Amino acid sequence: MNTLARQLTFFAPAAVMTAWATVMLHTVASGRINELLSPMFRNYVIACAAALIAFSILYLLLFQPTQKTAPSFAPTGTLRQLGRWLVLLLPVIAAAVFSPSAFSSTTISKRLDPNASYQMPTWYDKNKQVAQNVMDTDPSQAAPVEVTDLIQLGQHPDQAKAFADRKVRSVGHIMLTPDGSPKLIRLIMWCCAADAVPVTVDLKGSIKGTFQRDDWLEVTGTAQFPAGKDGKTTPVINVDTITPTQEPDEPYLSP
């Protein structure tokens, strides 16, 4: 029994490091990483998982248990030993099984700023290229756009004027602001899910339907860019249709 106790104590650190590495790799392989971390940081998760596995192997190769590694395995110590393992492993299991898959409408509403559509990052060249690609789409077809594409277009008067009255289709959640105005919402993830903030475009026309607040919806309509009282351009979609759709591969947008 003493040998078993020493072996359990010795292998515990390597087992826990390997367990965390397994959770990280499972998160990447299952696609859950898309809901938790910005694309620019995802490779670091794989690197960290590989490092944990390497450290576990190194630990097993370089260290050997001694007679004094663990206390005597007394008859009353079995439950105590099991408790030590549970304390280490239960958080790992909980992180893998019970982590939320996405933010709910409650989280969005708590973070929603009435001026959120203007709280945009400084866009990289690739984002500007995306906006240009939207401009270059076939005018006879509904252009597939993100909420951020419309906001980007609205920040440039020439582009907004050229793109106005074009048919578009965009995916997101629909929510009502405290004043009752409907908005199409997506979350921008800067680093990880904890710092995601909502960005919006206004919706006009009928938005009635059987959908729920947390449903993913595709909105088809006409894009417009009216100037507000403060002179800022507010992207608007005059709604034609609203249909349920699948969650995007990237549920959160990133700058």
Q: For residue 148, what is the domain's CATH number?
A: 2.40.50
- Shared domain for 152 and 217, answered yes or no, is yes
Retrieve residue 109's tokens. Answer: 């509403």
> How many domains is the chain built from?
2
- Shared domain for 126 and 41, answered yes or no, is no
CA dihedral 220, 207, 174, 111 (to 10 degrees): 130
pLDDT at position 70 is: 47
- Shared domain for 49 and 18, answered yes or no, is yes
pLDDT at position 99 is: 63
pLDDT at position 184 is: 92
- Shared domain for 151 and 230, answered yes or no, is yes
- Asked if residue 254 is part of any domain, the answer here is no
Residue 199, domain extent: 105-244
Whose CA is closest to 72, among 4, 119, 165, 167?
A: 4
Mean pLDDT, the chain, as a whole number?
Answer: 77
pLDDT tens-digit series, residues 205-249: 878 777 787 889 999 999 999 877 666 778 999 999 999 999 888
- Shared domain for 15 and 88, answered yes or no, is yes
How many angstroms separate the CA atoms of 219 and 11, rounded? 54
* 3-state SS assignment for residue 179: coil
- Shared domain for 58 and 115, answered yes or no, is no
- Shared domain for 224 and 120, answered yes or no, is yes
User: Mean pLDDT over residues 133-146, rounded?
Assistant: 81
- Asked if residue 200 is part of any domain, the answer here is yes
Whose CA is closest to 185, among 122, 235, 255, 125?
A: 235
How many angstroms separate the CA atoms of 19 and 97, rounded? 13
- Asked if residue 251 is part of any domain, the answer here is no
Retrieve residue 251's tokens. Answer: 């549920």
Which of the four pLDDT bands, split at 50, 70 and 90, describes residue 118?
very low
Q: Number of helices (H) and strands (E) in the chain: give both, helices first.
A: 7, 6
Retrieve residue 226's tokens. Answer: 């009216």
Does position 116 have pLDDT exceeding 50, yes or no? no
